[in-house]
Amino acid sequence: MIDSKLIVAVTLAVACVGAFAQASATVTPKVDQREAIQQKRIDQGVASGQLTPRETRRLEKQQTRIAKAETKAKADGVVTSGERRELHRMQDRASKNIHHQKNDPQVAPKS
């Protein structure tokens, strides 16, 4: 006869593994890390005067769109490889835009 404690332990173990697998399917550490780095680059551009208020608004809106796309990708509990590729593509474009705007001849007016 199988011990009832053993059955409970096995059931809990299976449930934990399932919960861990689902949680890891929605984790996007590379996306999150890049978001933080890009936000820091925008903040540095504002502080140095390399970004005008208009450029800053546009870059911030782009970051918001990326965050919304990430939230949408996570909504069903799984971030597919295609969704990850799209998020990385969006971040690549944002990175290029940040670089371009920080290095163009426009500067923020002195306060």
Residue 5 has what pLDDT?
Answer: 67
Which residues constitute the domain of residue 65?
Answer: 4-103
Write the burial class of residue 97 (CB in 10 Å: 0-12 exposed, 13-18 middle, 19+ buried).
middle
Question: pTM for the complete prediction?
Answer: 0.76
Q: What is the pLDDT along the chain (111 residues), one digit of tens a residue?
A: 566 666 666 666 666 655 554 556 788 889 999 999 999 999 999 999 999 999 999 999 999 999 999 999 999 999 999 999 999 999 999 999 999 999 999 888 887
Residue 111 is assigned to a structural domain of this protein? no
Going from the C-alpha of 98 to that of each of 25, 31, 34, 85, 92, the distances in angstroms are 29, 16, 13, 20, 10
How many structural domains are present in the chain? 1
Residue 62 is assigned to a structural domain of this protein? yes
**pLDDT tens sequence across 32-46:** 999 999 999 999 999
Residue 47 is assigned to a structural domain of this protein? yes
Residue 108 is assigned to a structural domain of this protein? no
